[in-house]
Each structure stands twice: as C-alpha cells, then as structure tokens.
Structure 1
Amino acid sequence: MSFSQGLSGLNAASKALDVVGNNIANSQTVGFKAGSVSFADIFAGTTGLGVQVAGINQDFNSGSLASTGRDLDIAIDGKGFFRFVNEGGSVFYGRNGQFNTDEKGNVINSSGMYLTGYQATGTPPKIEPGAPIGPIRIPTDDMQPEASTAGTLTGNLKADDDKVIASAFNAEDPSTYNFVSQIEATDSLGSKHTVKVYFVQTSPGEWKAYAGDETSPRMDTGSPPKPIYSEMQLKFDASGNLIPGTTVPAGGVMNITGAALNGANALNLQLDLKALTKNASDSLVKLGEIDGQAPGKYQNFKIGDNGEVVATYSNGKRQTVAQIVLADFPNTSGLQSEGNNVWSESSSSGQPFLGASGTGSFGDVNGSMLEQSNVDMGAEMVNMIVYQRNYQSNSQTIKTQSELLQTLVNLR
C-alpha cells in the first residue's frame, strides 16, 4: 500500500509541476490566466490510499494593462471576455486583445477567429438597443455623398443694436443688414454650397432674416435677374427667446432653395432658427448642426473606451461601425479551456450573458492597450520548489518501503 501511496504522490507532484511550468512558459502570453492545482485525498473505508489531482483551477483576475499605441490592440480592464466565432459558427471567449484584419476587413485574432460586436444600423449608422451581433468588419469603401436637407442655427442677435434699417435689403450692400452668418451645405453630388443668412433690424427689437444659396442661387426673371432670398420675420419674447408661432412664415424654419449645379439636384434646405435669442450681448450666429456630406475616402479607425469602432473619412465625417460585445458567466471557473488562449461554454460555467463596455458588471474596453499575463513569477518559483520537495519526499517513501521489503526477503 505504501508503494501506491508514494506513487500517487509522485503523480500529483508531477502534475503540479506541469501546471507551474505551463504558467511560467506563458508568463508573457497576452491575456493568459494562471492555473493552480487542487489536491484531494484517496480513501478506501478508513484507509488512506494517497492523493489525487482534484482539478486545475484558473485565476481569472485581471492582469496589468500596457499601452502599445496600436489601433488593433484592445484590453478589458475588469470583468468580461471578448466573444469570437470561427468559420463553422462555434463560439469562443478570450481575453487576448491582439487583433488584425483579414483581406475583407474582418477583425480576427491570431487563430483566425472573428471578433464579434453589436452591428451599427440606420442612417447615420448607430448602435441601437437590441442591435444584432456579428463579426466586426472595418469598411474601407468610400463614403458616398448625401445632400443636406436640414440644419440649425444657434446664437444671439444684439438686443440693444442701435442700427435700425428702413431701406430694402440688398445682399451686395452691407448698409442694408446688421449681421451676416455663413454656413456650408452639400448637394446630391457632394459639392459644397455657401448659404448666407442676413439679419436686419427693421425697428427697435424687430428683426428679419434673409437666406439664400449663394453658390447656385435661384434667380428672378427681372432684367438683369437678381438672386432670390428666403425671408422670415422674427419675434422674441421678453426673455429674449424666439417665438416660433409668431414668425412669418410661422414655425421658425426657413426653406432655402437653390438652382441645380453641375447636374446635381437643386439644394433644398430646411434651416431651423428656433434656438436664436435676442439679448444685450453682441450678435453672433453660427451653425449648430447640419446633415449631408461630401464624398470621403476611408482613412483609419479608432476603438473608444466604450468599445465603439468608429471609422474616419477624408471629408471629416466619422461613422460608427460596431460596438465590441463582452460576455461573462455565472461561474467563470467552469469554462472549458480550448487552447490558443480561448475558452468555451460548459455546463459548469452556465450560459453567457452579454453586454457592452462599462455597463452592468462589465469592465471597460481600452483601445491601444493589452492585458498582460496575470502569472506571478515569484509565487510560481516558490511553488516549483515546494512541489519539487514534495516529489522528492514521495520518492523517499517508495525507497524506504523498498528497503523494508528487501530486509524481509533477506530473512533466513
């Protein structure tokens, strides 16, 4: 029996040394999680028969983060796993954030598995609640032009402006207006159009706005023809806020139209002035926001701390592509190790629950960073010494038992 006890001790110590060796070998593996051995005794009735390895546990605590400056390096600071799918559709989970792109722009890990995320939908693309989950692909196609159809102006008209104008408005005569603001819009081919909005104080506290497309203006039929400007009368309350119901036309939105340019559709822009105010500060009116875009060439992409993948284009526009999805489990210790630094779901781990960076119990996604291995080299060296001594001690019990048997054999 002593032989079997000693042999079980040798096997257990050898297995423990294997785990230590594996930890040390992967001390520089990105996202690696150190393992440890659990032992259990073996009994037959009241008799001890030695020791056995009850299981290999993995430490899923986060490793330290290191900055790399590389766009496709991603780290999770806290709980959660990246979610991958392979060509066959099987799902795996991991913490190694070293990614590349394939020839189609799909984000893949070193094993060729696809990183998955919530897909952006709509125009402009954005992440909606309940968005579908699929492989993340970085689009390198050109961004197509879109015509501007709606915009807003924000700012203030000077309430105590002492310049009151009685003469007819003339865009070419600065004496016929108090202030002018300029914005840019795009037509259906992506060409830029300069839209100017002129503000005229017609009586103390009473204003009018005139707006027109000055790149391709509509022209009247006079001789010579003159540009046609949209017109709106502006009224403000005692607090200096525009009263949309009293503007002429009502609603506080100007319809600005132009003539067709280079074969594009004529510009037709709804410009919202409802955010304008009138108080004693200087006149300053600027563009709040406007839709539409010129054509753009893909330049690069960034992964934000919320896990969103955002592509940038030469026209200055940014487009959300996807948002990295994170997964976690009721019992991470029950995950099945699959090699290549990934795990799969098992009956012990429970089913995964999914979420985004920084939500619920999930950690934060950090772009241009990597999570280092959580192997503690000092602790592993100590464990190696302990298991080595354990191995030697078990071998000594076998040697001692052998000597006792030899003594019995030599009895006459």
Structure 2
Amino acid sequence: MSFQQGLSGLNGASKQLETIGNNIANANTVGFKAATTEFADVYANSLSGTSGLGTAGIGTRVSTIAQQFSQGNVTASNNALDMAINGGGFFRLTNGGAVSYARNGQFQLDKNGYIVSPSGGHLTGYGVDSKGKVATGSPTDLQITTADLPPKQTTEIDGQLNLDARVTPIDPTVTPFNASDPTTYHNGTSATVYDTQGNPHVVQTYYVKTAADKWDVYADCATAQSVNPPVPPATTPPAGFVASVTFDFSGQIKTVAPSPSPITLTLPATNGATSPFSFNLNLTGSTQFGSTFSVNSLSQDGYASGRLSGFGIGNDGIITGRYTNGKTSTLGQVVLANFRNPNGLQPLGNNQWAETAGSGEALVGTPDSGSLGLIQSSATEDSNVDMTAELVNMITAQRVFQANAQTIKTQDQILQTLVNLR
C-alpha cells in the first residue's frame, strides 16, 4: 500500500508543480488569474461500505485546481480602448455567436469599427437610439461609428449683458435705428447661429436706450435678412426690431415684450437650408447698472456638422465621441457580467472563460452597479500572480515530491529485506 500512497503523492506534487509553472509563465499576461492546487485524501472502503477503524488511507488526489479571482494591479497604457476592471466582473465577448468572458481589457478597433479583443472576440454593450441615448436591453456588439455628427439648427441665443444706465436716451421717432449709423444705437454685440444644414450666420444685436429704464433691442445679419412682424403699439418699429426691455429700480429686468423674443432670418435662395428659420433671444439675467456695457455670457444651442476626432470611456462604461465642431456624443456603453461562483467558470484559454452550470447564470449590468466594478480607461489589469509566493510554493512542492519518492524507496528496501529472509 505504501507504493500506492507514494505514487499518489508524486502525482499530486507533480500536478502542483505544473500549476505553479503555469502561474509563473503567465506572470506578465494581462488579466491572468493565478490558480492553486487543492488536494483531498483517499480512503478505501470495505465491502460493507465503511472504512475500517485505524485505516491509514491510500494516498491523496487533486480535488480541484481553483483560480483566484483577486484584483490585479492596474497599469496605465497609451491605448484609449484599453480598459481595466477595478472590482468584480468580466468583459462580455462574442465570437461567432459564442459568448465568453474575460478580464483582459486590451481592445482594438477592427476594419468594421467593432471593438475586439486580441483573440477576435467582439466586446458587447448597449448601443444608442436615434436620439443619442443609451438603449438598454439585450447587449449587442459595440461598434464605433465614424459618421459625421449632424448639424443642429439654432433655436435660442442666451445672453447676459450689462447695459449702461448712465447713457442718454435716443428718441426713435427723431433718430430711428439704422445698423449702419452708430449714432442711432448705444451698444452692439454678435453671435454665430446655424441653419438646418449647419451653415453659420453672424447675427448682430443692437441695444438702444429709448427712455429711463427702457431699452429696444434690434438684430441684423450680414448674410441674411432679419424680419419680424410688427410689435404693439400700432406704430411699426424699424426693420430688425426684436424686443423692448424694461428694468426696475434695482437694475434687474422687469418686463420683456414680446416674450419670447423671436428673430427670424430669411436666407439667400442659393443657401439650400430651410428658410426662413426663427430662434429666440433670451436676455434673462441681464442688468442695467451704472457701469460700462459688458457681455458677461453669450451662447447659442446650434452647431455645424462635425467629424469624429477621438473618443473616451468613462468609469460607467459610456463611450463618448469627440467631434471637430467641439461637441460630444454618446456612442454606446460597455456592460460587465458577474457570477455567483466564478470558480465554476470553464477556462477556454486566451484569457477567457465560459459559463457553466457550476458558475451560475451570468449577471449582466452596467459598471458600478450591484457587484460590478468600475472601468478605468487607458489602463490594463496586471496578472495577480505573486512571484515570491510562487517560488516559495515551488520549493515546498519540490520537497513534497522528494519526500514521496523517499517513501517509495523505503518501501522498496523493506520488500528487499523480506525477499532476502532465509
């Protein structure tokens, strides 16, 4: 029986050395998870189904080789598509319909714009709908579209100005507004707006103090005509009139008429965009103080078309594209998957695992939800192999192997003594 015990010990120590060797070989493999060899003792049962009292046992066996899914160190990289999971979870990959899971976050774009792993698996996640919002549901292969970002027509200009309360009013019945004559207005500023095709148009706004605490606002465009319907009172204001603004005693806006204040642009016939098109001028927050005219903020909500210039991935897995017009757009969201028993996963090689009955069903969700970790972009997760510990384990396994070989040698000597008995 000692031969069987020693042989099982040799086999177990050999398997442990194989596991240690595989760990050391993958010490630099991104996303690799170290494994440990677990043993169980073996007893022989009697015919009655129970082992006899005082049975020494017949050796050992390898019960399982368990992978340790502990966190590896995170190392920065220069690839914007590299991702490291900081916490629990796996990347979900598909390849020809087969689903696998990985911790290796080294990704690239293939010729069709799909995000792929080194082994060719497609990273999955949520796409976006027609409004650019993340469309949750069943994960699909993530694809980075290089299509131009469509232009958006301007619908509003927001301006916060300070109009100088100290200036002398201009009587519009005596000196009507004329954009070409600076003596007919007090101040002016400009903003660029965009039509339905993303063509820019510079709109100039002018401010005329007509009475104490009262200002008229006009608009003019160098490449289009500003046309507004008459505004009460019954007398028709000059072309380009936008609104009358009244301030209270503290210099804050009291009333704006009309509100909202529309500006309508008629485009040249050769432009091709929708004409005319209208947008509102919003002066909320403007003031009339006894200081020089100033433009504190001026913005509008339209933009021209833009080409994709780059993209980034947030901690929540959302992929955001950056465009040449200065805008951003959501391109998709990476999903992660976790399991009740990760040790039940089946290793497939190439840093991938497959779901099994022992692992349980994949729990798919967005990063930083439930038991899922965060995503760190432009980074990868190192192997969690501890080289010092593995070398110590190797020495221990080697000594165990030698000890089991010694038991076989000792048993051989005992048998030799018995054979030599006269």
> Would the alpha carbon gap of residues 240 and 326 (structure 1) be closer, same or farther in structure 2, given more than 3 Å must change?
farther
Equivalent residues in 2 for 1:1-400 (5 A)?
1-44=1-44, 45=51, 46=53, 47=55, 48-88=57-97, 90-123=98-131, 125-127=132-134, 130=136, 133-144=139-150, 146-158=151-163, 160-166=165-171, 167-218=175-226, 228-236=239-247, 242=253, 246-250=255-259, 252-260=260-268, 261-266=270-275, 268-273=277-282, 275-278=284-287, 280=289, 283-291=294-302, 293-400=303-410
Render the CA deviation track for 1:23-72: whole Å, top value 9, x for unaligned. 00100000111111111111232532211112112121211111121122
State the alpha-carbon separation in 2 of the partners of residues 241 and 393 from structure 1.
92
Q: Tell me if the contact between 1:212 and 1:258 (Cα under 8 Å) persists in the aligned partners.
A: no
Gap regions ≥5 residues in structure 2: 45-50, 229-237
Query: Quick one: which amino acid aligns to residue 413 of structure 2?
Result: E
> Would the alpha carbon gap of residues 33 and 284 (structure 1) be closer, same or farther in structure 2, given more than 3 Å must change?
same
Counting matched residue pairs gives 398
Report the alpha carbon displacement of residue 379 of structure 1 after superposing the two structures with TM.
0.5
SS at match of 1:60: coil
SS at match of 1:312: strand
Q: Tell me if the contact between 2:89 and 2:336 (Cα under 8 Å) persists in the aligned partners.
A: yes
112-121 or 177-186, larger mean C-alpha shift: 177-186
191-200 or 390-399, larger mean C-alpha shift: 191-200
Query: Quick one: which amino acid aligns to residue 148 of structure 1?
Result: Q
Give the alignment partner of residue 406 of structure 1, picking from 407, 416, 421: 416
Question: Scaled by the length of structure 2, what TM-score is found?
Answer: 0.86
Report the alpha carbon displacement of residue 10 of structure 1 after superposing the two structures with TM.
1.1
Render the CA deviation track for 1:327-386: whole Å, top value 9, x for unaligned. 222222222222110112222322222333334443221221111111110000000110
> Would the alpha carbon gap of residues 241 and 43 (structure 1) be closer, same or farther in structure 2, given more than 3 Å must change?
farther
Q: Tell me if the contact between 1:67 and 1:368 (Cα under 8 Å) persists in the aligned partners.
A: yes
Gap regions ≥5 residues in structure 1: 221-226
Query: Quick one: which amino acid aligns to residue 232 of structure 1?
Result: A
Q: Tell me if the contact between 1:254 and 1:273 (Cα under 8 Å) persists in the aligned partners.
A: no
State the alpha-carbon separation in 1 of the partners of residues 375 and 248 from structure 2.
48
> Would the alpha carbon gap of residues 267 and 408 (structure 1) be closer, same or farther in structure 2, given more than 3 Å must change?
farther
- 1:224 is matched with which residue? none
Q: Tell me if the contact between 2:219 and 2:226 (Cα under 8 Å) persists in the aligned partners.
A: no
Identical positions, percent: 41
SS at match of 2:113: coil
> Would the alpha carbon gap of residues 51 and 210 (structure 1) be closer, same or farther in structure 2, given more than 3 Å must change?
same
Larger of the two Rg values belongs to structure = 2
SS at match of 1:338: strand
> Would the alpha carbon gap of residues 301 and 239 (structure 1) be closer, same or farther in structure 2, given more than 3 Å must change?
same
> Would the alpha carbon gap of residues 163 and 325 (structure 1) be closer, same or farther in structure 2, given more than 3 Å must change?
farther
State the alpha-carbon separation in 2 of the partners of residues 175 and 279 from structure 1.
20
386-395 or 57-66, larger mean C-alpha shift: 57-66
322-331 or 350-359, larger mean C-alpha shift: 350-359
Question: Scaled by the length of structure 1, what TM-score is found?
Answer: 0.88
Render the CA deviation track for 1:151-170: whole Å, top value 9, x for unaligned. 24031334734343324222
RMSD between superposed Cα atoms in Å: 2.5
Report the alpha carbon displacement of residue 236 of structure 1 after superposing the two structures with TM.
4.9
Query: Quick one: which amino acid aligns to residue 203 of structure 1?
Result: A
State the alpha-carbon separation in 1 of the partners of residues 87 and 130 from structure 2.
31
State the alpha-carbon separation in 2 of the partners of residues 39 and 238 from structure 1.
88
Report the alpha carbon displacement of residue 272 of structure 1 after superposing the two structures with TM.
4.7
